Structure 1
Amino acid sequence: MGTPSSNVDSAALETELDQVINRSVGISMLLVSTADGRAIAHRSLNKLDPRRLSAMSNSFLTLGETLSRELGLSTADYVTMSTSQGSMVLVRVAADRPYTLAALGHADTSLAILLYAARDAAARIKQLL
């Protein structure tokens, strides 16, 4: 993974991701990346490439934010993607610099539960970034 900002407590961030995965039964992946798409921390129950996912996740969230502005709406708080095999929520974490949190839910996890867990995790990890 990429090198996190010097002010990021990597151990505390990894611990927080572990806690979110352990208490949120429906989440199978969490990924924190910089606004330029570099992975700094992740947890996954599946074998995934965090570097590739970081770049794509950040681009998808940025596209959602850009679309929101073009529509004359306020800044997008999050974007979602839903499939028959699961859903993903991408949340901007506005710390000292912007980060992206990606949360992947199982097929049987409701989007509302996933969104709540992702927004809660973003608020918790914001303090660590």
Structure 2
Amino acid sequence: MSVDTLALEAALDVVLSRSTGISMLLVSTGDGRSVAHRCFNSLDPRRLSAMSSSFLTLGETLSRELGLSTADYVTMSTSQGSMVLVRVAAGRPYTLAALGHADTSLAILLYAARDAAGRIGLLL
């Protein structure tokens, strides 16, 4: 199945224009390959795609082991910013990673990630 990368990047641009505290949005396949990204830093999307997909899968696996329902998202927070990883509802598994600045609240970051996942899910 072919993915329209330009349409995905345009959808990511819309989310970024609405959320000034977000510095990166990254879409990856379930097996960790980069599909589309928007980033204000010089980060390697290929490496980040592999790690993001693995981190979300680990969170989902841990959730199942604990007898919980499927994980809706996984977060990582540091003094320099936070990252939210969500699974994108599409025909096959995709991961969306959203990186926020240190002063961006986790709620704003999560809202932006879910908004982006909904927008790009329609395109995948």
Query: Would the TM-score normalized by the shorter structure come out above 0.5?
Result: yes
Q: Which runs of 5+ in 2 are unaligned?
A: none
1:94, CA displacement in angstroms? 2.1
- What is aligned with 2:22? 27
The alignment of Structure 1 onto Structure 2 pairs a total of residues equal to: 124
> What CA distance in whole angstroms lies between the structure 2 residues aligned with 1:97 and 1:80?
22
Tell me the amino acid that sits aligned with residue 10 of structure 2: T
- What is aligned with 2:101? 106
> What CA distance in whole angstroms lies between the structure 2 residues aligned with 1:116 and 1:22?
14
1:11, CA displacement in angstroms? 1.5
What CA RMSD, in Å, does the superposition of the two structures yield over aligned residues? 0.7
Q: Which runs of 5+ in 1 are unaligned?
A: none
SS in 2 for 1:88: strand
> What CA distance in whole angstroms lies between the structure 2 residues aligned with 1:17 and 1:26?
14
SS in 2 for 1:37: coil
SS in 2 for 1:28: strand
**Divergent runs of 4+, >2 A:** none
SS in 2 for 1:102: strand
* Selected match of 2:51 from 51, 56, 67: 56
- What is aligned with 2:117? 122
Tell me the amino acid that sits aligned with residue 40 of structure 2: L
* Selected match of 1:96 from 88, 91, 94: 91
1:19, CA displacement in angstroms? 1.3
Percent identical among aligned pairs is 84
1:65-88 residue CA offsets vs partner (Å, 9 max, x unmatched): 000000000000100000000000
- What is aligned with 1:83? 78
- What is aligned with 2:61? 66
